[in-house]
Amino acid sequence: MSTIVRWDPFKELATVQDRMNRMFNDMWGRTHHADEDYISGSWMPSVDVRETKDALEIAAELPGLEPKDVEVSVENGILTLKGSRHFEKATEGETYHRVERAYGSFERSFSLPTNVDPERVHAVYRHGVLHLTLPKREEAKPKSISIKVEDK
């Protein structure tokens, strides 16, 4: 017995776009200078964005970074994450045979919905992941309204 699955062309398009972005990042996002033993380029940390009834929550993967290497700011309804990961040069007697991790600076920006309170943003860095909580304004939270039943 076979299952019928609805085809979603936009999902396939997003998958193709993601693959193309990764291909171009692999080709041009990182550069190696033979005369200098370092890797540089820009990269983008992966993020998860989810919404709860009380807040937006963002988790950004930043392995190998110290909190002092990351800057978080909110300005004019835009949340921005900036930072950099530096390549450690091989010391005498060491040779890198493969370098796959990205190094250099990064910047990610997110437009915040108007129901987010930028004054109460909270950031915690734990196990290489930056967790941001962006609470919603009180008036933006869903409100349950009870219905009275009246007899005629």
Residue 30, helix vs strand vs coil? strand
pTM: 0.63
Structural domains of the chain sorted by starting position, each given as residue range(s) with its CATH number in brackets: 43-92+101-140 (2.60.40.790)
Residue 91: predicted pLDDT: 82
Q: From first to last of its 152 residues, what are the pLDDT tens digits of the chain?
A: 556 767 666 667 777 777 777 777 666 554 444 333 334 456 889 999 999 999 999 999 999 899 999 999 999 999 999 999 888 787 888 888 888 888 888 999 999 998 999 999 999 999 999 999 999 988 756 777 778 788 87
Q: What letter would DSSP give residue 64?
A: T
* Cα distance between residue 101 and residue 149, in whole Å: 64
Integer Cα distance of 141 and 115 in angstroms = 8
- Predicted local confidence at residue 21, as pLDDT: 74
List residues bridging with 73 in a β-sheet: 80
pLDDT of residue 97: 84
CA angle 64, 103, 132 (to 5 degrees): 50
- The pLDDT of residue 31 is 44
